[in-house]
Structure 1
Amino acid sequence: MSYLRTFLPWIVFAAIPSQHWQWASLAALAVAVVIIRSQRRAGSGFDALIIELGSAFFFAALAFTAFSDPQSGLHEYSAALASGTLAVISGASLAIGKPFTLGIARRTTPREVWTRRAFLHTNVVITAVWTAAFALTAAVLALEAYAGNAHSAAATIVQLAGFAVPMLFTVRYVAHVRGKATAS
């Protein structure tokens, strides 16, 4: 559920038909702000809201652009930019030693586990997979947009796979790590 909440603004953006990209970006911004407020009230630190904060900034900029110039060429590349932004955010979280998945994992993991090397390593691996998936998705979506297929069924499938594959990896990898820890 934590990953679904984290990526809900992106899901909202993707679910609204592309011809309404102004409203899609505004709705995604609103969802990001609500999630950030809710999580802050629940006691989450900003370090646990890396994707959410990046989402709010991205959708604020996109909404501004979309309403300022609805015919902007960015429209065709908005899905690629979204995935690229997620790649940059998650990659930056790795670069500064604070993988974005740490905040999500801490919501469901006992506090005594948080300082273990294996916990950090697991989150580095998971965040690296998400980063690679976002980067690959951005590249494929940029190619689709360049070919004039930005809002095609194939682009939608690529977007879905860009979230589904790392999500599936996360679930399986965490189960694998827990299984190894239990066997030790």
Structure 2
Amino acid sequence: MLYAIAFSPWILYAVIPAVWWQWSMLAALAISVAIFVAAVARRRPAAAMIIEIGSMMFFAAGTTLALADPGTALHPYLPAVSALWVGLIAWFSLLIRNPFTLGIAKLKEPPEVWRQPLFVRTNVIITAVWAICFTAGAVLLAACAAAGAGRGLVIGVQVGHFVVPMVFTIRYVAVIRKRVARMHAEPPKPPVFSGQYHGLR
């Protein structure tokens, strides 16, 4: 649910017809600002708002461009630019060892698990999948723009590069939870002694 909220401005921008792209940029900006303000009001840490902050920056710049130059030659490539922007956010969060999904996951998990290697590694993997999907989406969308592909294909790619990592996140987290539950359910194994007992010879 948190991912759907965080990426809702991008999904809205993707589904609004291209002929109204100025208004889709403005609407996405308004939603991203509203989401950020609501998150600040709930006192969410900055590490849990990486996507929200990045969204505001992109849609603020996009709205400025749309209102200043509605007929810009960059317009057909904006879907690719948007995917690349989010991909760069994801890759950068990995580079600084603060994967953006880690901040979101901390909102749902108790503090005692935040530094556990499995918890951190799980979020590194999930963030990497998001980064790969965004990067692949940017490449495909750039190719669509260059080839003059139909709006249906462009929307399909835009929605797909959000849905695929979102589904992966849900399923992968479920797998990890089951693995942890099995580990906790297993009785401790008795110590194995190699021919001698502690304290005896």
Tell me if TM exceeds 0.5.
yes
2: CA distance, partners of 1:116 / 1:172: 20
CA RMSD of aligned residues (A): 0.9
Q: Which amino acid in structure 1 is aligned with residue 151 of structure 2? A: S
Aligned counterparts, 1:45-56, within 5 A: 45-56=45-56
Aligned partner of 1:72 in structure 2 is 72
- Bigger-Rg structure (1/2): 2
Q: Which amino acid in structure 1 is aligned with residue 39 of structure 2? A: Q
Aligned partner of 1:172 in structure 2 is 171
1: CA distance, partners of 2:155 / 2:34: 26
Aligned partner of 2:191 in structure 1 is none
Structure 1: 5+ residue stretches without partners? none
1: CA distance, partners of 2:172 / 2:124: 12
For normalisation by structure 1, the TM-score amounts to 0.97
Aligned partner of 1:134 in structure 2 is 134
Taking only the aligned residue pairs, the percentage that are identical comes to: 44
CA contact (8 A) 2:80 2:142 kept: yes
Could you say what secondary structure the match of 1:44 adopts? coil
For normalisation by structure 2, the TM-score amounts to 0.89
- Cα distance, 1:109 vs structure 2: 1.3
1: CA distance, partners of 2:46 / 2:19: 33
Could you say what secondary structure the match of 1:53 adopts? helix
- Structure 1, residues 62-89: CA drift from partner, whole Å, max 9, x if none? 1111111000011101111110001001
- Structure 1, residues 99-147: CA drift from partner, whole Å, max 9, x if none? 0001211121122211111111100000000000000000000000001
Name whichever structure is richer in helix by fraction: 1
Aligned counterparts, 1:78-93, within 5 A: 78-93=78-93
Count of equivalent residues = 183
CA contact (8 A) 2:93 2:100 kept: yes
- Cα distance, 1:46 vs structure 2: 1.2
Could you say what secondary structure the match of 1:118 adopts? helix
2: CA distance, partners of 1:129 / 1:120: 14
Structure 2: 5+ residue stretches without partners? 184-201
Runs of 4+ that moved beyond 2 A: none
Q: Which amino acid in structure 1 is aligned with residue 56 of structure 2? A: A
Q: Which amino acid in structure 2 is aligned with residue 129 of structure 1? A: V
Q: Which amino acid in structure 2 is aligned with residue 158 of structure 1? A: V
User: Does 61-70 or 10-19 show the bigger shift?
Assistant: 10-19
- Structure 1, residues 130-170: CA drift from partner, whole Å, max 9, x if none? 00000000000000000112x52111111111011111110
Q: Which amino acid in structure 1 is aligned with residue 91 of structure 2? A: G
Could you say what secondary structure the match of 2:79 adopts? helix
CA contact (8 A) 2:14 2:159 kept: no
Q: Which amino acid in structure 1 is aligned with residue 181 of structure 2? A: T
- Structure 1, residues 48-73: CA drift from partner, whole Å, max 9, x if none? 10011001000011111111100001
Q: Which amino acid in structure 1 is aligned with residue 128 of structure 2? A: A
- Cα distance, 1:43 vs structure 2: 1.3
Aligned partner of 1:14 in structure 2 is 14
